[in-house]
Structure 1
Amino acid sequence: MFKKMKVFTILAILVLLTSFFGQTTAFADYPIFYQRYAADPSALVYNGRVYLYGSHDVYQSGAGYIINDITCISSDDLKNWTDHGEVFTAKADSSWATLSWAPSVVYRNNKFYMYYGNGGNGIGVAVSDSPTGPFKDTRSGPLVNGSTPGVNPPSGFWCFDPCAFVDDDGQAYLYFGGNGEGNIRVIKLNSDMVSINGSAIKMTAPRFFEASYMHKYNGKYYFSYSTDFSQGAAKIDYMVSNSPTAGFTYKGTILPNPPQNDSNNNHQSIFSFNGNWYVAYHNRALAASNGLASDVRVYQRNMCIDKMNYNSDGTIQQVTPTTAGLTQLKNVNPYVNNEAETMAQESGIQTEACNEGGRNVGYIENGDWIKVKGVDFGSGASSFDARVASDTSGGNIEIRLDSLNGTLLGTCAVSGTGGWQNWTLKSAAVSKVTGVHDLYFKFTGGSGYLFNLNWWKFNAAPKSAAADTNVDLSEVTTPLE
């Protein structure tokens, strides 16, 4: 394991104050992901899950945006997100690109196609058999750049921010461009999704700056984008047409510049999931909570989601960014193996590749924690299992209800296993708990890294379990939202 740079965050301070004073601190549906800074979300709905792919923001003093790989997270309830790590790295997974800005991912031909910007100088495409990668770009150069027929780039044209869109008739399009009202381009893709068909077509939008995005609703084409700063902070505006390439009419704003974004850039993805429409975007809330200065947090963004609604005439109601606007779509089943890297919130931990598949929670130190929202214990649980590994003397998993210092259900002791990837199963008895609760795993122990956690589960209580083992819910402290 490698050394972890830990930040004692303002968020952690708020958690402690909440527990001490018994007051509720409201946290938004942003940030939805804490382990890394990520932006420019691209949504893919596949097999009952929402996958979000984002630019992974890495900071280096004086270097601006450093985005060399793509982060992926997914969820089936929109509250607990699974961390799939970096699924594409430009230098490792392509022969020509060095950067991977603002991805767009679509599913077709039983494959997943990721379009990405090599900075502002060209667009590549990488392919995978799985939504969680790895994605590989097998081309020897960009799919689209300034030399592509029809692009005819004016001075200052940015060839980036791709959006791939597959129409109902099977025709696929790629939208891209930036830095000027007339700097939108759209070009047809062949059915193989890795080659172009014909010349690019020019499109124009009021105050267009970047973040081209196309979606379809009730037979109409909705082109949305981020505005420039000529009339204040950037917004997500949109136009509507009966055609995917022409005849658009400007309709207004979908999303104003969100809170805690320092009036800076934004990038949206609009998608339908389980009968509702959502807009994913980014702001700088996580960087602010981590206490970063404004000149640093501008380059350290985090992903967000809010619900989006249409009016009866097909126009979009302007979205108001919320503090807790999304409804959890389903509860977590604690009686199956739950991946530890699936969570609603965390403090201190990181995730890493696991030799048993997927990822595990690692770099755990004393006082770190993770939260899983909306766990349905049903008629009761009586014991807890955890798949763990440790190259030190281990530590403990405190299992708590509804807040970081809430009712202690039990403690699972973890001892050394002789290696960070030498996995074993540890178990602990827990007080019987019923109903739906937020679940906290609080990690305690000595100094340094304690152990890794791969997955966890509870075991149902026998029906004859004594009633006096039930948890006294009057002891539960105020939940952390």
Structure 2
Amino acid sequence: MKKTPVFIFSAILTSASLYAIGENRPIIQTKYTADPAPIVINDTIFLYTSHDEDDAQAYGFKMKNWLLFTSTDMLNWTDNGAVASLEDFKWYDGDNGAWAIQVVERNGKYYMYCPIHGHGIGVLVSDSPYGPFKDPIGKPLVWQREHWDDIDPTVFIDDDGQAYMYWGNPNLYCIKLNNDMISYSGEIMKMPHIDDYQEGPWFYKRNGHYYLAFASTCCPEGIGYAMSDSPTGPWTYKGHIMDHTPRTRGNHPGIIDYKGKSYVFGQSYDILRIETQDHHERRNVEAAEMHYNSDGTIQEVVYWRDAPLNQIHFHNPYQKTEAETMAWGYGLKVKKTDLRTSVLTNINNGETLTVAGVDFGKGAKKFSAAIASEKEGNAIEIHLDSENGPIVGILEVKPGKTSDKFSLQSCKVKGAKGVHDLVFKFIGTQSDSDLMEIDYWQFK
């Protein structure tokens, strides 16, 4: 029986070689993402995030929408694009302030709780976790106008059906949501201060214990947590899930159990550090496996890069795979074309895309991809294990009449057997950029 691999980063770009063999790396690289909010729906992790724009500057957040990524193996993530934005709140006329959200499901509907910095917390609802999300109340759910504490909502529905929402920086607040999930009863409760609490609470229950994880006091921030026997406290501070270190700077936890394991999500500036040591508010989502002690307390997790992330199951290359599914794709971008369709774009000469842990079984014979290209002389090299690994096929891309007209193009494959990381290397002339766009791919 083959051992499930730990994703090992090899130098995909010269500038990315700051990652050593065996180090974990940010799970999303095609966009700057922050404030992870994972939820398990059926057999899939839906990871909602906030979105730092590529041109966000130092000490100035630039955030306009909320994104969705999905995975079933923890290493390969599919970019589903933006699923909601500030424009969905007609009562807000600004173009910035789309901060940390959380999505919960109740009675077949999906509720997204959205802070709009300085304008309270709104709520959106959808019949699908992919959206579209719409504003059912046309106003903030919560807005304490006397201060700017109303950020970072977290919502949990208890076993008895009562739903709670916690939020706040630097103070912590709580309300009891009604069954409709878009209104609340009673007063806003201001909670007693928890040691080391800063912001970004994440509220959940496990094995009879209530947990409140949070970004711990800046700066740098870690991830702290408290426990209680009641959904409204009192809360007892228990220490750190991830301690303060100079590498953490900012953090924001999201915690789930998935396929028999527990995971903590957070954020770092490690993708930005590939490009510059200067500080800009451009963050990236991270994840690590997390373990509990017998009394329910949490074992401390080392910093993201030092905590290798195991793949849960191998990827099946014989199923249709969206091109925006990857374990690593630094430099590439994803463009959303409609509600459920995205394509891989901004593909430049020499760039690569890695899909981790692909099981070719007894061997693949053919590779096909839906490609749009206007340029002659482009190709996709298909490598095993790294961009310098064996080439098992080369797809010479045929140009189409328009950049948005996708055609299914194929090449023969030889030597793709067993389990390997799959690396696509995109080839054009040295000066070429935007070589092609890819919708999906499949082996046979």
Using the alignment, how far apart are the partners of 1:161 and 1:235 within structure 2? 16
Q: Please report the TM-score for the alignment, with normalisation by the length of structure 2.
A: 0.91
Per the alignment, residue 468 of structure 1 pairs with none
Which structure 1 residue ranges, 5 or more long, are not aligned?
Answer: 1-9, 19-23, 148-152, 460-481
Per the alignment, residue 301 of structure 1 pairs with 283
2:83 aligned to which of 74, 81, 87: 87
Are the aligned partners of 2:37 and 2:102 in contact in 1 as well (CA < 8 Å)? yes
Cα separation, partners in 2 of 1:27 and 1:146, compared to 1, 3 Å: farther
Cα separation, partners in 2 of 1:272 and 1:83, compared to 1, 3 Å: same
Structure 1 residue 445 displacement after superposition: 1.7
Per the alignment, residue 277 of structure 1 pairs with 262
Structure 1 residue 355 displacement after superposition: 6.0
AA in 2 matched with 1:76? T
- SS of 1:365's equivalent in the other structure is coil
Are the aligned partners of 1:30 and 1:302 in contact in 2 as well (CA < 8 Å)? no
Using the alignment, how far apart are the partners of 1:416 and 1:356 within structure 2? 27
- SS of 2:414's equivalent in the other structure is strand
- SS of 2:13's equivalent in the other structure is helix
Are the aligned partners of 2:213 and 2:223 in contact in 1 as well (CA < 8 Å)? yes
- SS of 2:386's equivalent in the other structure is coil
AA in 1 matched with 2:318? Y
Per-residue CA deviation, residues 61-108 of structure 1 (Å, 9 max, x unaligned), is: 467011111121111000000001111110x21102343100111111
Structure 1 residue 254 displacement after superposition: 1.3
1:228 aligned to which of 201, 217, 221: 217
1:69 aligned to which of 65, 68, 89: 65
Using the alignment, how far apart are the partners of 1:103 and 1:378 within structure 2? 40
Per the alignment, residue 144 of structure 1 pairs with 142
Using the alignment, how far apart are the partners of 1:247 and 1:62 within structure 2? 38
AA in 1 matched with 2:423? Y
Cα separation, partners in 2 of 1:355 and 1:140, compared to 1, 3 Å: closer
Matched, 1:209 2:198: yes
Cα separation, partners in 2 of 1:363 and 1:295, compared to 1, 3 Å: closer
Aligned length: 426
Alignment map for 1:285-296 (pairs within 5 Å) = 285-290=270-275, 292-296=276-280
Are the aligned partners of 1:26 and 1:324 in contact in 2 as well (CA < 8 Å)? no
1:361 aligned to which of 344, 347, 357: 344
Matched, 1:158 2:143: no
AA in 1 matched with 2:223? I
Structure 1 residue 111 displacement after superposition: 1.4
Cα separation, partners in 2 of 1:415 and 1:111, compared to 1, 3 Å: same
Cα separation, partners in 2 of 1:255 and 1:356, compared to 1, 3 Å: closer
Cα separation, partners in 2 of 1:325 and 1:60, compared to 1, 3 Å: closer
Using the alignment, how far apart are the partners of 2:175 and 2:81 within structure 1? 31
Using the alignment, how far apart are the partners of 2:375 and 2:131 within structure 1? 32
Are the aligned partners of 2:73 and 2:312 in contact in 1 as well (CA < 8 Å)? yes
Which structure 2 residue ranges, 5 or more long, are not aligned?
Answer: 1-10
Alignment map for 1:39-118 (pairs within 5 Å) = 39-58=34-53, 59-61=55-57, 64-90=60-86, 92-97=87-92, 98=94, 99-118=97-116
2:133 aligned to which of 109, 132, 135: 135
Cα separation, partners in 2 of 1:25 and 1:136, compared to 1, 3 Å: same
Per-residue CA deviation, residues 308-327 of structure 1 (Å, 9 max, x unaligned), is: 11111111111112435221
Cα separation, partners in 2 of 1:62 and 1:375, compared to 1, 3 Å: closer
Are the aligned partners of 1:26 and 1:323 in contact in 2 as well (CA < 8 Å)? no
Using the alignment, how far apart are the partners of 1:94 and 1:133 within structure 2? 15
Per-residue CA deviation, residues 313-353 of structure 1 (Å, 9 max, x unaligned), is: 11111111243522100101111111110000013321112
Percentage identity across paired residues of the two chains:
39
Matched, 1:404 2:399: no
Structure 1 residue 27 displacement after superposition: 6.0
Per the alignment, residue 403 of structure 2 pairs with 420
Cα separation, partners in 2 of 1:142 and 1:27, compared to 1, 3 Å: farther
Per the alignment, residue 182 of structure 2 pairs with 194
Structure 1 residue 247 displacement after superposition: 2.0
AA in 1 matched with 2:103? V
Cα separation, partners in 2 of 1:113 and 1:247, compared to 1, 3 Å: same
AA in 1 matched with 2:257? S
2:166 aligned to which of 156, 168, 175: 175
Using the alignment, how far apart are the partners of 2:341 and 2:246 within structure 1? 34
Per the alignment, residue 123 of structure 1 pairs with 121
Which of structures 1 and 2 has the bigger CA Rg? 1
Using the alignment, how far apart are the partners of 1:428 and 1:258 within structure 2? 49
AA in 2 matched with 1:323? D
Runs of 4+ in 1 over 6 A off after TM superposition: none
Cα separation, partners in 2 of 1:11 and 1:284, compared to 1, 3 Å: farther
Using the alignment, how far apart are the partners of 2:377 and 2:405 within structure 1? 13
Matched, 1:311 2:293: yes
Are the aligned partners of 2:375 and 2:399 in contact in 1 as well (CA < 8 Å)? yes
Are the aligned partners of 2:288 and 2:307 in contact in 1 as well (CA < 8 Å)? no
Cα separation, partners in 2 of 1:157 and 1:209, compared to 1, 3 Å: farther
AA in 2 matched with 1:307? E
